[in-house]
Amino acid sequence: MTDAAEQSAHPESHHGYISEKAAYINRMKRIEGQARGITRMIEEEQYCIDILTQISAVTRALQGVATGLLSDHLGHCVLDAAKLGDEAAQEKLKEANEAIARLVRS
């Protein structure tokens, strides 16, 4: 999705805001694998404490992806909006702050 036609067709799109996109996809593939591993552990009724350890690990991995993406978002979308004016920036920030509050609570 990097060709110019695509870009111009979606003037509001956020193509390119994710730094090191391939790295995030790798992290998510690993998380998918861990999730499948947990399902299998439950199917095999492995020891509960070991399953909980895996769930804590996946949760932290997901939080790492979330804080990384958020960092990219603040550094691109929000700073770009700041250049357009305070109102645009405040709107973007409101949305980001709500996402942060959800992450902190979850």
Q: Which spans of this chain sit near its own copies (rule: CB under 8 A)?
A: 1, 13-18, 21, 24-25, 28-29, 31-32, 35-36, 38-39, 42-49, 51-53, 55-56, 58-60, 62-63, 65-67, 69-75, 77-79, 82-83, 86, 89-90, 93, 95-97, 99-106
Cβ proximity to its own copies, 4 vs 35, nearer residue: 35
Are residues 38 and 58 in contact, defined by beta-carbon separation less than 8 angstroms? yes
**Minimum CB separation from its own copies for residue 22, in Å?**
10
| CA dist list (Å): 70 to 29, 46, 74, 96, 98 | 19, 35, 6, 8, 12
Nearest Cα residue to 3 out of 12, 17, 15, 14? 15
Cβ proximity to its own copies, 8 vs 106, nearer residue: 106
**Minimum CB separation from its own copies for residue 41, in Å?**
9
- In the DSSP assignment, the letter for residue 87 is H
Residues 6+ apart with CB under 8 A from 99: 70
**Minimum CB separation from its own copies for residue 9, in Å?**
14
